[in-house]
Each structure stands twice: as structure tokens, then as C-alpha cells.
């Protein structure tokens, strides 16, 4: 039962990604990416990480994708790629590399995942957000604060960058 669910979501995720890649219109690709992120969120659920599922949906799908859509709309940069590709050998080489990358990462990935997924008592404890929370605010308190700072700096950066007219 779970396998079927996994397969469906995986298919949706891949389709979303490919569609994002192919679509001419930036807005369409943004929406397809939104679909992809949703699929990944569901996968997180399958992987017993409910908290991450929530975060993925709210932060990624909600905030980041909206920002993308906003910027695309703002710049009106949907139809950009009309001029022929400047670098001739870019296309074929990229495909080739992509393929090679796929093969290599698959081999590395399969090579490492050896132990079967456990279940029962620990799994429940693992998937419980409380354990995540405990860890976050005890051992990893410092990184947590730092990420806070990063966000703050990002905001300041954006404000500075989008200054109109005044030379920095």
C-alpha cells in the first residue's frame, strides 16, 4: 500500500521537475516546481518526518515559490529564450554530463543504502516532532541562532540591493 503511494508521488515529482525544465513560460515552470515541492512534502510524510512535511509546504512551497512567482511577474521575463544558444557545444555536453551524473549518483546511492529500514518502537519515537524539538533547542541551539542571523542579514541585503538610484 505504501509502495503504491510512493510510486505515485515519485512520478508526480519527476513529472513536475521535467515539466519545469521544458516549459517555455517561466510562470508555468514555477507552478510545476510548486507541484514538485508538494510531492516531495508528501514523501517526507512517507518517511515519517511530519514536521519537515509541514516546513516544506509552508516555507518552500508557500514562501519561496510565491517569491519566485512575484519576481517573474514583476520582471515580466517569461519569454526570454528566443536567441539561439550562444555556446554551440553546451547542449550536447550538458546532456552527456547529466547522464553520467545520474549513473554515478545512482551507483553511489545504491552502494550505500544497505541496512533495511527498521520499524516498531524506535520508528515512532523518531517520527515524533518532540524529539526533533528537544534536539533543536539543546544541542543545536547555536546553529539555530545563527540561521536566525542569516535570515536577518538576508533581509538587510535585499533592502540594500534594491535601493533605487542612490549609489552605495
Partner 1 sequence: MELLIWLIPLLPFIGFLLNVFVIRREREAGLVASGVVVAAFVVTLIAVAMLAGMPPEERRIVSTAWEWINTGSFRVPFAIMFDPLTAVMALLITGVGALIHIYSIGYMHGDPRVVRYFAYLNLFVTMMLFLVMANNLLLLFLGWEGVGLCSFLLIGFWFERKSAGEAAVKAFIVNRIGDAAFILAMLAVFTYFGTLNFYGDGEGGQIGFLERVSDIAGLRIGPDWQPIFVSTAISFLLLIGATGKSAQFPLFVWLPDAMAGPTPVSALIHAATMVTGGVYLMARTEALFTASFTTQGWVAWIGAVTALLAGTAAMAQWDIKRVLAYSTVSQLGFMVAACGMGAYVAAIFHLLTHGIFKALLFLAAGSVIHGTHDTQDMRRMGGLKDAMPITFRTYVIGALALAGIVPLAGFWSKDEILAHAISHGHTPIFIILFLTSLLTAFYMGRQVALVFFGTQRDPGYHPHESPAIMTVPLIVLAVGAVIGGVINLPVLHWLTDWLEPVLHEKAGEFNIWLALIATIGAVGTGYLGWWVYTTNAARIKIGGKDPAYRYSGDIWEGMEEAWYLDRLYQRTVVAGFEQLANFLARVFDPQGVDGLVMGIGRFFGGLANGVRALQTGYVRTYALVFTVGVLLVLGVMLWFAR
Partner 2 sequence: MVPTSYYILLSAILFTIGVLGVLLRRNAIVVFMSVELMLNAANLALVAFAREQLGVEAQVLVFFVITVAAAEVAVGLALLVAIFRTKRTADVDEVSTLKG
Within residues 91-130, the interface with partner 2 by CB under 8 A covers 91, 94-95, 97-99, 101-102, 105-106, 109-110, 112-113, 115-119, 122-123, 126
Q: Of the ranges 14-22, 55-63, 91-99, 148-156, which one interacts with partner 1 (CB under 8 A)?
A: 91-99
Q: Which three cell numbers stand for residue 35?
A: 507541484
Q: Which three cell numbers stand for residue 97?
A: 554530463
Is residue 150 at the binding interface for partner 1, with CB under 8 A as the rule? no
> Which one of partner 1, partner 2, none is in contact with 162 (Cβ closer than 5 to 8 A by kind)?
partner 2
Which candidate, 28, 8, 12, places its Cα nearest to that of 20? 28
Where do runs of H (alpha helix) occur along the chain? 2-22, 26-46, 50-55, 65-75, 90-112, 121-127, 129-137, 141-161
Whether 28 and 69 have beta carbons less than 8 Å apart is answered as no
Site for partner 2 in 54-93 (CB under 8 A): 55-56, 59-60, 63-64, 67-68, 71-72, 74-75, 77, 80-81, 83, 85-87, 90-91
Residue 71 has, within 13 A of its CA and on its CB side, a CA count of 9
Is residue 80 at the binding interface for partner 1, with CB under 8 A as the rule? no
> Which phi and psi angles does 80 have, rounded to 5°?
-115, -35
Q: Of the ranges 20-28, 86-94, 137-145, 154-162, which one interacts with partner 1 (CB under 8 A)?
A: 86-94
Q: Of the ranges 20-28, 61-69, 107-115, 120-128, which one interacts with partner 1 (CB under 8 A)?
A: 107-115
Amino acid at each position: 500500500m505504501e509502495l503504491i503511494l510512493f510510486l505515485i508521488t515519485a512520478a508526480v515529482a519527476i513529472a513536475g521537475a521535467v515539466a519545469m525544465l521544458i516549459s517555455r513560460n517561466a510562470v508555468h515552470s514555477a507552478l510545476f516546481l510548486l507541484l514538485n515541492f508538494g510531492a516531495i512534502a508528501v514523501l517526507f510524510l512517507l518517511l515519517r518526518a511530519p514536521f519537515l512535511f509541514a516546513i516544506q509546504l509552508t516555507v518552500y512551497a508557500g514562501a519561496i515559490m510565491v517569491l519566485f512567482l512575484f519576481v517573474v511577474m514583476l520582471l515580466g521575463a517569461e519569454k526570454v529564450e528566443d536567441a539561439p544558444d550562444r555556446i554551440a557545444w553546451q547542449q550536447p555536453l550538458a546532456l552527456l554530463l547529466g547522464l553520467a551524473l545520474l549513473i554515478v549518483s545512482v551507483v553511489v546511492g545504491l552502494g550505500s543504502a544497505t541496512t533495511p529500514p527498521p520499524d516498531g518502537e524506535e520508528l515512532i519515537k523518531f517520527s515524533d516532532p518532540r524529539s526533533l524539538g528537544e534536539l533543536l533547542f539543546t544541542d543545536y541551539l547555536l546553529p539555530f541562532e545563527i540561521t536566525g542571523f542569516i535570515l536577518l542579514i538576508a533581509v538587510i541585503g535585499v533592502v540594500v540591493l534594491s535601493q533605487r538610484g542612490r549609489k552605495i
